[in-house]
Amino acid sequence: MHDLQRHIEEIFRRDSGRLISVLTRIFGPQNLELAEDVVQESFVRAMETWSAEGIPDNPEAWLLTTARNRAIDAIRRERTRRTFADDLAVYLDSEWTLASTVDEAFESDWARDDQLRMIFMCCHETVAPENRVTLILKTLCGLGVPAIARALLTTESTINKRLYRTRKKLEGVEFGLPTPEALPEALSTVHTALYLLFNEGFLSTSDKPIRRELCRDAMFLTKLLVDEPRLSNSDTVALQALMCFNAARLESRIDGDGRLVPLDKQDRSTWDRGLINEGFRLLARTARMGQLAAGRYHFEAAIAARHCSAETFADTDWSSICNLYDRLVEGAPSPLAELNRAVAISYRDGPDPAVELVEALRERGALPHSHVVAAVLANLYRRAGAPESARRYLEQALSAVRTEHERDLIALQFERAGGVA
């Protein structure tokens, strides 16, 4: 039974987003919760049936058929109380065309387009920024409310409230792709949400140091965009390249005891060369796409590429990385980019000039709710031979850190007088 449940959970994470997307196309965004309920009911039915009869040869097809049948039942049950998708309503209202309309919506080409529509709907301008990743995790990644609450370091009650408010906001939204005029801004919003989703997997705020499944989900959704030229641009491809470079070293970031491993201590022989090569291929593709100016994801991907190119930590081309950070800070300034630039400078020029840069960040009140500024200062002062200042900032960092695995990493780096995560 345990193996069966795990298998169904894996299928749910893989296929629920596609099914919800198709059902939202049929039902309309105003009935998103109904779409989620139909998919949930289909998986409950799978658990019941497969427990008694065994897993079918084609479980995905079984689930699709079950979801299709339950969708038709839901339409028949709710058609007098709800309005469905405007362009399908007349066909769903007639028994002559109901089944064929639902069948057509489940065809593979339509389903893929519906997933793309769903990505943009989750990141619609009416959805508050803090709710976009929440909605993606729920509708496209198949996470339950408890898992989302853990991933985003909040309560289940807060997640439920966010989802309720977001569903209300989406009631008047068209389930479609952005117009050419609206596409650049909408795509930028989607990029940010997928970037945050990947980062939550790469360094989790939950009790697990990394969440591989979130990284996979972010990469899958980004690839959906990249494979659709009319909906992607050079930034999209650069974002996918960045994810490939970072995902390539996921396995080396955790030791045998489940603790985070700093970059300089990672076993580079375990890095996924296939993903690294794909990252370089994608970066080369961005150069052929004719974008006038490189953006944030281009520079971050190029920095990640420099790390992946170094055979050892000592071989890292810090001069090139510093130059890339200079351009990143100039083109897409952020406190975190400035902090990472200072760390890179400390490896190129020594800790003293970096201390000045990070102290200036601290005095500006940069990243006030994070431990990272204090943690970086603790390391820099330790390397600069100022133990009292180093200890003071270490205590500040440890008091502000949110997870045990980050606490262990900070302490390890401090005792080793350096290293980067």
Q: pLDDT per residue over 46-83, tens digit each?
A: 888 988 888 888 888 898 899 999 999 999 999 888 88
CA contacts within 13 A on the Cβ side of 348: 16
In the structure encoding, which two tokens stand for residue 58, read together? Answer: 């084609």
User: What count of other Cβ atoms lies within 10 Å of the Cβ of residue 157?
Assistant: 10
Listed as own residue / partner, the contacts of 91-97 with beta carbons closer than 8 Å and 24 or more positions apart are: 92/26
Percent of the chain with pLDDT over 70: 95
Closest CA to 374 of 409, 346, 410, 404: 410
Closest CA to 22 of 95, 145, 112, 83: 112
CATH topology of domain 331-421: 1.25.40
Helix segments in 227-332, DSSP class H: 234-247, 273-287, 296-309, 318-331
User: What count of other Cβ atoms lies within 10 Å of the Cβ of residue 8?
Assistant: 19
User: In which band, very low, low, confident or very high, does the pLDDT at 401 lie, cut at 50, 70 and 90?
Assistant: confident
In the structure encoding, which two tokens stand for residue 333, read together? Answer: 């300034």
Distance between CA atoms of residues 390 and 355, nearest Å: 11
DSSP string over 67-83: HHHHHHHHHHHHTTT--
Instruction: Give me the residue spans of the domains in the chain.
Output: 1-122, 180-316, 331-421
Q: Which segment of 10-24, 307-321, 400-414 scores lowest on mean pLDDT? A: 400-414
In the structure encoding, which two tokens stand for residue 191, read together? Answer: 């990029």
Tell me the per-residue pLDDT of 128-155, one tens digit each, with 9 for 90 and over: 887 888 888 888 887 778 877 766 667 8
**SS3 string of 338-364?**
HHHHHHHHHHHHCHHHHHHHHHHHHHC
Q: Could you tell me which residue, 226 or 205, shows the higher pLDDT? A: 226
Residue 418 pLDDT more than 70? no
